[in-house]
Structure 1
Amino acid sequence: MTAELTGGEALVAALRAHGADTVFGIPGTHNLAVYAALSRYGIRHIAPRHEQGAGFAADGWARASGKPGVCVTTTGPALLNAATAAAQAYSDSVPVLLVSPGMPLRHPGRGNGYLHELKDQSAALDAVVAYSHRVTSVGEIPLAVAHAYAAMATGRPRPVHLEIPLDLLDDRAPARVVPPVPVPPTAPADGQISAAAQALTEAAQPVLLAGGGSVGATAELRNLAERLGAPVVTTANGKGVFPDDHPLAVGAGLHHRAVRELVRDSDVVVAVGTELAPSDLWFGPLDVPGTLIRIDIDAQAAATNASPDTAIVADAALALTALLKRLSHTEATPRGPERAAQARVRRDRQARAEGAVHLALTEALAQALGRDGILVGDSTMACYYGALSNMPAYAPRSFLYPTGLGTLGYGLPAAIGVKLARPSAPVVALHGDGGLMFTVQELAAAAQLRLPLPVIVVDNGGYGEIRKEMADRGEPIRAVDQCAVDFPGLARAMGCHGVSAGDQWQLIRALDAALMADRPTLIHLPESAAG
C-alpha cells in the first residue's frame, strides 16, 4: 500500500520488508530521521565505536547468517570510514547493504563547504562496491532497496551502497514499499553438464577444490565427492564446507605443496566456487595438467586465473545436483580415500611445520570450539599460518577470515556481528597485537552488549609478518616493532575481562571460562606461548 512517509521511514520500512531485523551503524546529524523510525519497525540497532567496525560487523553478520548485513552511516567521513569494510566484503563476495545520507538534492554541483561535504560521495563508493545509487525522491527509496537486495541475490553476492539526499530523509511524500523480488538460482546449461559428466566418468584420479561459493552446496559437494571417490581440498573461504574428519578430506589451504602435487597428479580437477586467486595460492598460479572443470556463479571468475576445459556458470548446488544425476551409474574410484589420506598426511606435515609456533593455540581453539563453534580470524600470522590449515572445521560458515583484501582489524568487530547472528554458537575472535589496535575500541561495544566473546591476542611485539619479510629481503628492520601494551588492562578499562595465558593449559582454561562469561574476555597470549 502507498502511504505518506518520511524518507527515513520509507528506508526503514523497506529494510524490514526485506527481512532486515538488525542494522549496524552510528547516528549523525544527517541520518537522524532513519534512527527515528528503527524502533517503530522492530529493527534492532547495534552501535560499534567506529564506522569501520560497523561495516565489519555487518560483514560478519552476513557471513554467519547467510543474509545481507546492513550498515548505516552518516555522510562524508563516516561513510569513508566504512569504505574499507565495504571493500573487504566486495573482495570476499559478502552481501552488505551500506546506506548513507548524501548532500541535499539541490546542493551546488561544485560544492559550497556544507558539513561533511565530499566532492562526489557516491562516486567514491561506486569504486569500491558492486554499485552506488543515489535516489532522487522519497518514493524511489523502497524501489532502490528492492533493487539492492535483488542485486545481492543475483549471481555473485557483493555489497551495494545506497545514498539518500539528506533533505529527503525528513521530507514526507507518498511511498510504496516494494516487496522482495524472488530471484531463482541460476541453473546450469545442459551441454556443459554433459561435458563435465563425460570427463568425470572417464576420470581415474579426480579431485575437488571447494571455495566460498560452495557454502550453500555442502550436501551436494559431499555426495559428488563420495560418488567419485575424489579427495576434497578447501580454500580459506571454503573451509568447513567439507568436514575435516571425512575420509576424503585433505583439508584447507591451496598454497601447500601437497595440494599442488595432488592437483598435478589428478586427471580431472573440479573447482567449485573458487577464484583460484593469488590470495589463496600465495605463490603463483595453480598448475593443472589434467582437465579443469570450473563451477562458478560468476562467468568472469570462471575464466580468471585458470582457463577451464569446461565452465559451468550456475548455482553450485544446482550444478552439482545435475552432475550427480548424470553420474548415477558411475563407480567411485577405489583409490580415492587412499589418495586423500596420503595427501592429507603430506599437507598436515607441511601445515604443522608452517604453523609450528601456533600449534598449542590451534589445539586449544579446536578443543574450545568443538564441532559447532565459529572462529573469526584477523589477517594475522596466527590465523593464516596457524588456524587456517591446523584447526579442523566441520561446517560451513565456521571459519571467517578476510581473505582477498587482507584487512587488519577485521576479527573483533566481525565476531560481534557473528555472535549477534548466531547467539547460541561458541564464537572466538583471533587477533595479532598489531591488527587488534586497528579496531580495539570495539571491545567497548562488545562489553555494552554483554557478549560472552573470547578475544585472543597473540602478541609478537608489532607487525610480525612484515618484520619477517624485511628480514627475508636482507633489509633493515624498521617501523614494525611496537611498545608493549597492557592488553588485559586495556580490556578491563573498557568493561571486559582481561587475562593472560602463559601456556596451552592456561589458554584452554581461559577459553572455557570466557565462553561462559557475562561479558567479553580478552586473552593475552605471548607468541612464545602459542606453540
Structure 2
Amino acid sequence: MGVVTKTVGEALIDILEANGVDVVFGIPGIHTVELYRGLAASDIRHVTPRHEQGAGFMADGYARMTGKPGVALLITGPGVTNAITAMAQAYQDSVPMLVISGVNARASLGHGEGWLHELPDQRATMASVSRMTHTLHEPRDLPVVMERAFSVLQSRRPGPVHIEIPTDVMDNPIEVQASAARKLSGPRAASSDVAVLAEKCRGAKAPVILCGGGAVASPEKIRKLAQCIDAPVVTTVNARGLLAGDPLSVPASPSLAAVRALLAASDTVIALGTQMGQTDYDMYADGGFPELRDLVRVDIDPDQLTRGPAASLRILSSVELLLDDLLPELEDRKVDREGAARAKACRDAALSGLTPKMRTEIGLLETIRDSLPGCVIVGDSTQAIYSGNLFFEAGRPKGWFNAATGFGALGYGPPSAIGASLGEPDTPVVCLVGDGGFQFSLAEIGSARDCEANVIFLVWNNDGYGEIGTYMIECGIEPEGVTPSAPDFLKIADAYGVPSIRLDDVTELASALQRFADRKGPALIEIHETNTRGATA
C-alpha cells in the first residue's frame, strides 16, 4: 500500500492491527463512533463488556496471558473514570494496557462550559494511573504518537498507556502509509554487572532466587539458572507456576516465616523482576521481613531499583536479556548446594504453618489444577485465593493471577478471566470469585456468553465479605456491613443461558469441572462455605 488518505479513526485501527492487536474491549458511544469506522473491515475482534471497568479488567487478563498490550476503547468522561480502577490494578501489577479514549472537542477543553461527559482535565485525571498519557491535538501526529505508545509498552516497565483523541480530530483526514511494527526490548545489563553477578553465582554457598511478575516470560531460562547454581526459587503471586513441579520450586509467600527463614539463611539472593512490595513480602505488615545478605536486584525500572531493601548490586535490565548474558558464563558449572533439600524443607514448613482451613482451601485449588491440566486460575479477592497466595503451585507459567495483591480491586476476577480466555481460547480458565466480589461485575456473565469465553465461574459463597468479617472479629470490632445479600447465582446463570451447578460435596468438583470444560462457552459452579460438605476443615 502506498500513501492513502484515511480518517484518524480508520488510521488508528490500521496502526493497532499492524502492531499485532487482534482484540479490543469497549462500549461504543457518540464520543467514539468515529474510532469504530474502520473496525468492522479489520481483522480485530471487538468484545463488548457490560461496564467500562470490565473492559479494563478484560484487557488486563488478555495482556497477562499473551504478553501483548490489552486494548480498551472508551468514551470520554464516565467511560474513562469507570476504567480507572482497572488501570490502577494494571499499573500496580505492571501489566501492559493501551487505553484509547475520546475527549471533547479541542476548542472546549479547559473552559468548563458543561459539555456532555466533560471533565475539568481528563488527561490529568488519567495521568496518575498511566505510564504515559497524551492528547492528540493534531491529526498528523497520530503515527508518531502511537509509535511512542507502543515503545513505552514494549521497552519500559509495563503498565497502562492512555491516548485521548478529541471528537473533532477523529474524523479528520490524514495521509498514511503502511509501516511494519518495530519490535523493541527493554534495557540490557552492562557487561561488567553481568561479570560481577556471575562471580557471585559461582561463589555462593546457599543461593536463593526470588521471582516476580517481571520474570514470567522466561521460565526455561530461570529453570536453567536455578539448576546451574542449585538454588531454590521463591515465586511471588504473579510468578506462580513459573517452575511448576520442579524440585527447586518454592511456591510460597515471602510473608511466611518459613520462606523468610530460607532467605535469611542464604548468602546470596537474586531478585528477578520483583517489586519486593508489601503485599508479597510483608502481607501482614508485621515488619518481619529479614535483612538479606548480598541481595542482587534485576529490574527493568530504574526507579524501582532505588526502592525497597538495600542491594549489593542493582542491575537495570529485562530479566530475559540478563539471563541471555548470564547463562553462558555458568552453563558448564554443576554444583551441589542442597538446593532441592532446602526447597523441600521450606515448602513443608510453609504448608504446615498454615491453618487447617487454609490447607483445605489449598486442597481445593489443587483439585482444580489437577482436574484440568494446563488450566489458568484467575482470582478475585476471596478467602481461597488468599490461601493460595500464601501457598499454591500453579500447574503452568501464567497459570495463577488475581487481584488480592497489589491494588486489590474487587470484581477483577470475572472480566479478567474472560480476557485471559480470549488470549488463549483453547485453555480452560477457572475464575475463583467470592459472592461479594462477584456482585461487583456480575453482569459480565453476559459478556462471557456473548463471546463464548471458555470460563468456569467458581463462586466461593460465604454469605458476604467473610474475610473482612473475620478480621473485624480478630480486631475486637463488632462486624458491621459485611453480610450483603447475594442473588441465587444459578438463576442468574440460567437467565444468561449459562449452565450451572451447586455442589453438595467438594468431591463433586473434579467431575463438574471436567464436564463443563468439555463444552464451549462459560459455565458456573457454586461452592457454599458451610453448606457444601468438605469446603472447610
**Fold match by TM threshold 0.5:** yes
Q: 1:352 to 1:320 in 2, by over 3 A?
A: farther
Pairs aligned (count)? 528
Gaps of 5+ in 1: none
Shift of 1:351: 4.4
Q: Output one character per residue of 1:111-156: Cα deviation in whole Å (capped at 9) or x when no partner.
A: 2111111111111001111121001122212222211111001121
* 2:352 is the alignment partner of 1:349: yes
User: 2:473 aligns to what SS in structure 1?
Assistant: helix
Aligned to 1:90: 91
Query: Which residues of 2 match residues 154-169 of structure 1 at below 5 A?
Result: 154-169=155-170
TM-superposed CA distance for 1:186, in Å, is 2.1
| 1:89-129 Cα shifts (integer Å, max 9, x gaps) | 11101111000111101115322111111111111001111
Counterpart-to-counterpart distance in 2, 1:198 and 1:508: 48
Segment of structure 1 superposing worse, 178-187 or 465-474:
178-187
Give the whole-Å Cα distance in 2 for the aligned partners of 1:338 and 1:108: 63
Q: CA deviation at 1:308?
A: 0.6
Could you tell me which residue of structure 1 aligns to residue 22 of structure 2?
21
- Does the aligned pair in 1 maintain the 2:198–2:326 contact within 8 Å? yes
Give the drift of 1:187. Answer: 1.7
Q: Report the 3-state secondary structure (helix = DSSP H, G, I; strand = E; otherwise coil) of the residue aligned with 2:238.
A: coil
| 2:205 maps to 1:204 | yes
1:291 aligns with 2:294: yes
Secondary structure, aligned partner of 1:490: helix
> Which of 310, 313, 326 is the equivalent residue of 2:316?
313
- Which residue does 1:279 correspond to in 2? 279
Deviations 1:361-414 (A, max 9, x none): 2132122222x11111112221121x3345432422111212310111111101
Q: CA RMSD in A?
A: 1.7
Counterpart for residue 152 of structure 1: 153
Alignment partner of 1:252: what SS? coil
Further displaced range: 183-192 or 41-50: 183-192
Trace 1:25-44 onto structure 2 (pairs within 5 A): 25-44=26-45
Equivalent position amino acid for 2:127 in 1: D
Deviation at 1:331, TM superposition (A): 4.0
Give, as a single letter, the amino acid of the residue that structure 1 aligns with 2:110: G
Asked if the contact 2:260–2:289 (Cα under 8 Å) also holds between the matched residues in 1, the reply is yes
Equivalences for residues 20-419 of structure 1 within 5 A? 20-107=21-108, 109-176=110-177, 179-243=180-244, 245-281=245-281, 282=283, 283=285, 284=287, 286-328=289-331, 330-351=333-354, 353=356, 355-370=358-373, 372-385=374-387, 387-402=388-403, 403-419=405-421
SS of aligned partner of 2:37: helix
Name the amino acid aligned to 1:14.
I
State the identity as a percent: 37
Q: Aligned AA for 1:278? A: Q
Note closer, same or farther for the CA distance 1:354–1:311 as it changes in structure 2 (3 Å cut). farther
Q: Which residue of 2 aligns with 1:457?
A: 459
Match of 1:425 among 424, 427, 433: 427
Distance 2:259 2:16 in 1: 44
Distance in structure 1 (CA, Å) of the matches to 2:392 and 2:486: 28
* Change in CA separation of 1:155 and 1:351 when aligned onto 2, cut-off 3 Å: farther
Q: Is the 8 A contact 1:277 1:305 kept in 2?
A: yes
Distance (whole Å) between structure 2 residues aligned to residue 509 and residue 16 of structure 1: 41
- What's the CA shift string for 1:459-491, capped at 9, x where partnerless? 111111211221111011111112242111111
Q: What is the TM-score when the length of structure 2 is the normalising length? A: 0.95
Work out which of the residue numbers 481, 486, 489 in structure 1 matches 2:488: 486
Structure 1 residues 132 and 17, CA gap change in structure 2 (3 angstroms): same
- CA contact 2:381–2:437 (8 Å) conserved in 1: yes
Q: Would you say the 8 A contact 2:242–2:397 is kept in 1? A: yes
Seen in structure 2, the aligned counterparts of structure 1 residues 250 and 441 have a Cα distance that, compared at 3 Å, is same
- Which deviations, in whole Å up to 9, do the C-alpha atoms of 1:186-221 show, x marking residues without a partner? 221122222222222221111111111111221111
CA distance change for structure 1 residues 140 and 181 in 2, over 3 Å: closer, same or farther? same
AA matched with 1:82: A
The one of 444, 447, 454 equivalent to 2:446 is 444
On the 8 A contact 1:376/1:429 being kept in 2, the answer is: yes
One-letter amino acid of the counterpart of residue 47, structure 2: I
Give distance in 1, aligned partners of 2:397 and 2:80. 31
Moved more, 257-266 or 361-370: 361-370
Gaps of 5+ in 2: none
Shift in alpha-carbon separation, 1:77–1:67, aligned structure 2, 3 A: same
CA distance in 2, matches of 1:360, 1:250: 17
SS at match of 1:208: strand
Partners of 1:56 and 1:414 within 8 A in 2: yes
Q: Secondary structure at the match of 1:106?
A: helix
Cα distance in 2 between the residues matched to 1:300 and 1:358: 37
Q: Is the 8 A contact 1:142 1:177 kept in 2?
A: no
